[in-house]
Chains A and B, each alone.
Chain A
């Protein structure tokens, strides 16, 4: 079946810099997308979501961009902090389906 994938498996970023994590999704019918953060040994934590009728959504220090034309999703983290070190997953949800499809995950490491 179709699934969500990520462009890069790892990202190393200097503390204070901005981070950009990318995600390519396959199902053009998906209408809801979510970014999760998972720290070692813990469950995924909701970061931000976006519906398909939007192309940008901002939260606290995070911004999600959605480009439906090329089926691309990105997460931008401003002023990356050591506490941002984690694995980040994007997930998609097709309409009429409660199941989420997760991407492979990007490991973000913040350098002091």
Chain B
């Protein structure tokens, strides 16, 4: 149980284009999902908290118009990187909250984005 998937697992795009990444909770409902960014040999940096049916909450320094987040259902959140640039190349990871009393987060396998 508690499986989170991401699609695609990797994507290469040209500068200026937009890329959408999907995050799905496969066997549970997640009212809250999180999007992280991870550069090589660094830790996970929280970008935003995605709540089903409401606007995402972005961390300080993360451009909400650049990284569009939509959480349309209890099992799906999407992250769209708009007008991508080479510096947006990174590993994007989502996680979803479990149903337990504490914050049990289950992570997706990540999406490697390369912007040429």
Per the 8 Å Cβ criterion, residues 24-65 of B in contact with A are: 32, 34, 42-44, 46, 49
A44:B103 contact, CB within 8 angstroms: no
Summarize B's interface: helix, strand, loop or mixed.
strand
A41:B110 contact, CB within 8 angstroms: yes
B43:A105 contact, CB within 8 angstroms: yes
User: Which residue of A is nearest B38, CB measured?
Assistant: A38
A43:B43 contact, CB within 8 angstroms: no
User: Which residue of A is nearest B97, CB measured?
Assistant: A98
Closest chain A CB from B106 CB (angstroms): 7
Among A43, A45, A51, A102, point to the contact of B102 (Cβ < 8 A). A51
B44:A45 contact, CB within 8 angstroms: no
Q: A41–B49 Cα gap in the complex (Å)? A: 23
A43:B103 contact, CB within 8 angstroms: no
Chain A residues with CB below 8 A from B7, complex form: none
Given contacts A41-B112, A98-B32, A98-B97, contact A46 B106 (CB under 8 A): yes
Chain B residues with CB below 8 A from A49, complex form: 102, 104
Per the 8 Å Cβ criterion, residues 47-106 of A in contact with B are: 49, 51, 89, 93, 97-100, 102-105
B43:A100 contact, CB within 8 angstroms: no
B107 at the A/B interface (Cβ < 8 Å)? yes
Chain A residues with CB below 8 A from B104, complex form: 46, 49
B49:A98 contact, CB within 8 angstroms: yes
19 new A-B contacts at CB < 8 Å, known A32-B102, A43-B110, A102-B44: A34-B105, A42-B109, A42-B110, A43-B4, A43-B93, A43-B95, A44-B107, A46-B104, A46-B107, A49-B102, A51-B102, A89-B44, A93-B103, A97-B103, A98-B32, A99-B49, A102-B43, A103-B43, A104-B42
| Residues of A in contact with B (beta carbons under 8 Å apart) | 32, 34, 36, 41-46, 49, 51, 89, 93, 97-100, 102-105
